[in-house]
Amino acid sequence: MDEETRLVPVQDESALTENETAVLVPMAVGEVATKIIAALDMIAALVPDLRKPHPATAKKVRGARTVPREAVSSIVAMVEASPLLQGVLPMKIDRAHEVLGSADAYRLLGERLDLLRSQVKYTAEARWAEVVAQAMQAYVIASTLAEDPKEAELAAHVATIRRHLGRRNAATGKRKKKTE
């Protein structure tokens, strides 16, 4: 089968009157995926200071997760209040405030992206499950019909599919031991 096609509703429904509905237009899922990937790249470009994970810094980044936010906020306040520490430490107070202020926004963005990822994954699996349910129903019906000697061609297909499924028409599960 060529690239899968599905119906995608028209995005702008603001011009529709009460009696009109959105028009469904065929669109290849691969084409939609390509557009979404391009949009994600544009979104990534908007994220300030976006970094890719790197093995050289991964240990330091992972270790910083163990330091509570409250402790860092207190340290920043301490450095701000002490001219002596400001003169000795290379700490950039403005940068610390910016990072502390944006941490929640990055967390929310990450959670929303995780949700989108799980929705995309579930959508693919749910669509697959729909096709599998229909295919297995067809297989069960064909298996029953293939028992008729007149349906030798159908029986050959069923045998091939049975091999693909790894089914041997054997009972599943543990067999009960016969008690004498």
Is 121 within a domain?
no
Q: Is a pLDDT exceeding 70 seen at residue 2?
A: no
Any idea what DSSP says for residue 24?
E
Give the per-residue pLDDT at 6. 47
Q: Is a pLDDT exceeding 90 seen at residue 113?
A: yes
Average pLDDT, the chain: 84
Is 120 within a domain?
no
The residue type found at 50 is: L
Domains: count for the chain = 1
How far is it, in rounded angstroms, from Cα 61 to Cα 17?
A: 54
Give the per-residue pLDDT at 162. 93
Is 39 within a domain?
yes
CB 146 within 8 A of CB 154: yes
The residue type found at 99 is: V
Is 117 within a domain?
no
Which residues are 28's β-sheet partners?
Answer: 5
Mean pLDDT, range 26-50, rounded to an integer = 88
Is 113 within a domain?
no
Helix H or strand E encompassing 8:
strand 5-9
Is 29 within a domain?
yes
3-state class of 9 per DSSP?
Answer: strand
Q: Is a pLDDT exceeding 50 seen at residue 101?
A: yes
Give the per-residue pLDDT at 144. 95
Give the per-residue pLDDT at 178. 57
How far is it, in rounded angstroms, from Cα 70 to Cα 78?
A: 12
Greatest mean pLDDT among 9-23, 30-44, 125-139: 125-139
How far is it, in rounded angstroms, from Cα 63 to Cα 61?
A: 5
The residue type found at 14 is: S
Is 30 within a domain?
yes
Give the per-residue pLDDT at 80. 94
Give the per-residue pLDDT at 61. 93
CB 91 within 8 A of CB 125: no
Give the per-residue pLDDT at 22. 57
Is 108 within a domain?
no
- The percentage of residues in the chain with a pLDDT greater than 90, rounded to a whole number, is 68
Full domain range(s) for residue 39 = 1-11+22-50
How far is it, in rounded angstroms, from Cα 40 to Cα 27?
A: 19
